[in-house]
Amino acid sequence: LGAMGDPRVKPGVLEKGVLLRLRFHFDQYVNLRPVKLFQGVPAALAGDRKIDMYFIRENTEDFYVGLGSRVKTGSSREQLKLIRKTYEVKFDIGIDLKDTDELAYQIGIITRQGARRVIDYAFDLAKKKGADLVTSVDKANVLTEVYGLWREEVEKASSSYGIEKEFQYVDAVALHMVRNPERFKVLVTPNLFGDILTDLGAALQGGLGFAPSGNINPSGVSMFEPVHGSAPDIAGKDLANPVGAILSSALMLDTLGYKDAAHEMESAVMSVLSDGKHMTADVGGKMSTTAMGDAVLNVLKSQ
């Protein structure tokens, strides 16, 4: 899937009407975001950093379910409904608002099944990658119900897979990602926190132009896309960084079981970037989109 966005469209329309709708319709409950800093790419952090981690973000629940409203002063009744592939829930909320003119609210939902399946995916990935620790990210000290349930499923998965787990609050993870990102290998997060932290991760790997992603249903239809937006200000100018899109293709191949092809594609990107000279404008380079793509293709052909 290509980058999507238009500054003329009100925020939330494309996100809810297209991206979230696709994820929900195909039940793409895993958002997989590798964060890897390749040699030669200008780094946000000083020093020789070995940044190589995987974010597994729950992709269909939490505070992104789209349940919420605005209420004016007085008494009202709100009826909300959520339909997913595996369950349906209805809310009938009576509201009596006094002493202020308006309030807005959003509802966050985590089901046990929804938590279990993405957490199992994270521990399974950790096993495949040889990681001995999975970091679970939440804010269970404040949002005790939704993330208390989340933690219960992390405990079960850790015991079942025989892999150690640690619980970290989202604010602490943000701090550690800047101070010591090398400590992380596999992180599993609820939807909202994963959305925020993965963009911090993109900054650590050189910027959004280098960041791939996959919206995955392990037994259904998956969707792969670069993380960056549509950048209408440079549309048609041959300036965009194609690395995120290329790595998204590699991630797709890997997920579909074409491990060798995925490795060759990622290795070609690494080879091109390694000397620090092949860079597009987003990181201070002079290469065009076409030239960068051709450079990766030439390496692939020579392998």
DSSP codes, 48-113: ----EEEEEEE-SSEEEEEEEEEEEEEEEEEEEEEE-SS-EEEEEEEEEEEEEEEEEEEEEE--HH
Q: What's the predicted TM-score (pTM) here?
A: 0.93
Question: What integer pLDDT is reported at residue 238 of this predicted model?
Answer: 83
Alpha-carbon distance of 232 to 111, in angstroms, equals 38
Alpha-carbon distance of 137 to 151, in angstroms, equals 9
Dihedral pair phi/psi, residue 273, rounded to 5°: -80, -20
Beta bridge partner(s), residue 165: 134
Question: What integer pLDDT is reported at residue 7 of this predicted model?
Answer: 72
Percentage of the chain surpassing pLDDT 70? 99
Question: What integer pLDDT is reported at residue 259 of this predicted model?
Answer: 95
Question: What integer pLDDT is reported at residue 229 of this predicted model?
Answer: 73
CA nearest neighbour of 137 among 107, 165, 95: 165
Question: What integer pLDDT is reported at residue 232 of this predicted model?
Answer: 74
Domains identified in the chain and CATH numbers: 25-61+110-302 (3.40.718.10), 70-107 (no CATH)
Q: How many CB atoms lie within 10 A of CB 34?
A: 21
Query: How far from chain centre, in Å, is Cα 79?
Result: 31
Q: Which positions ≥6 away from 36 have C-beta within 8 Å?
A: 51, 52, 53, 205
Rounded alpha-carbon distances, angstroms, from residue 1 to 18, 99, 137, 229, 249: 11, 48, 28, 12, 10
Which positions of the chain have pLDDT values less than 70? 3, 5
Question: What integer pLDDT is reported at residue 20 of this predicted model?
Answer: 82
Alpha-carbon distance of 135 to 145, in angstroms, equals 19
Question: What integer pLDDT is reported at residue 256 of this predicted model?
Answer: 94
Question: What integer pLDDT is reported at residue 236 of this predicted model?
Answer: 81
Q: Give the active site residues.
A: 64, 139, 171, 195, 199
Tens of pLDDT along 276-287?
Answer: 889 999 898 999
DSSP SS3 for 239 = coil
Q: Which two tokens mark 200?
A: 């911090």
